[in-house]
Amino acid sequence: MDFWATWCGPCIEEMPHYADFWNRNRGRGVEVVGIVVDSGEAQEIEDFVREHRIPYRQLLGNDAVVDAFGAGQGLPTTFVIDQDGRIVQKHVGLLNPALVEQETRVLAKLDTSATVEWVEDKGEVLLANAAQATDVPGLALEKLTAGQRTTALKRLNEEPCTCGCGLTVAQCRINDPSCGISLPIAKKIVEEAVRQ
């Protein structure tokens, strides 16, 4: 699933790769879906798709769809989804076509030389899951009492980060553990929860 817009250069650059992949693998348990998050009219987008000869299905997205997938961090954003509808990978920015193809081939059980190690998802794959985060990168929440942990998590999941990301502190820490603004805020929230 590829979130894109007509004004996004990297989005347009990766479309031929998706078209080629879709053409080679249609009918083999693989689907490519574009989610257009453009503000243009439907006819303009339809003309764009026709002009660029995009053969795979396109859907018009809106803010609710972008928020539900956590796709608002940049375009293009590509999600690799398994046959059970679970998001197993998220790529922000111009993709590596070979990597995405290998991931998809593994999930579709097509021939591949890749080996896969499955790890438990603690909410990092889908940013929307961070709305109720219980593990926050950079924080040792397990050292808190149950009450302190509940207080800290409530604030971490409600208070906005001030780095400009538009996310809560918990979401920012999960989406970008290297953010130098959200970590001090998160640590202060935990310290205040301990003092209460």
The predicted pLDDT at position 126 comes to 43
pLDDT grade, residue 182 (50/70/90)? very high
**Average pLDDT of 63-73?**
74
pLDDT of 47 above 90: yes
Q: Which residue has the higher pLDDT, 186 or 128?
A: 186
Per residue in 156-176, pLDDT (tens digit) is 888 899 988 888 888 888 777
Q: Where among 77, 107, 137 does a domain terminate?
A: 107
Distances (CA, A) of 150 to 20, 129, 161: 49, 17, 19
The predicted pLDDT at position 125 comes to 46
The predicted pLDDT at position 34 comes to 94
Asked whether residue 7 falls in the same domain as residue 90, the answer is yes
**Average pLDDT of 132-136?**
65
Asked whether residue 19 falls in the same domain as residue 97, the answer is yes
The predicted pLDDT at position 101 comes to 80
Per residue in 11-29, pLDDT (tens digit) is 899 999 999 989 988 888 7
For the chain, the residue count is 196
Asked whether residue 12 falls in the same domain as residue 61, the answer is yes
Taken in order 88, 94, 95, 97, is the CA torsion positive or negative?
Answer: positive
Lowest mean pLDDT across 8-12, 129-133, 184-188: 129-133
Q: Residue 156: give the domain boundaries.
A: 127-195
Q: Are 101 and 29 a contacting pair, CB within 8 Å? A: no
Could you tell me if residue 119 is inside a domain? Answer: no
Could you tell me if residue 85 is inside a domain? Answer: yes
pLDDT of 192 above 60: yes
pLDDT of 74 above 80: no
Q: How many domains does the chain have?
A: 2
Could you tell me if residue 113 is inside a domain? Answer: no
CATH number of the domain where residue 46 is located: 3.40.30.10
Could you tell me if residue 117 is inside a domain? Answer: no
Q: What percent of the chain has pLDDT over 70?
A: 87
| Global model pTM greater than 0.85 | no
Please give the mean pLDDT across all residues of the chain: 82
Could you tell me if residue 78 is inside a domain? Answer: yes
Asked whether residue 9 falls in the same domain as residue 98, the answer is yes
Asked whether residue 93 falls in the same domain as residue 168, the answer is no
**Average pLDDT of 111-131?**
54
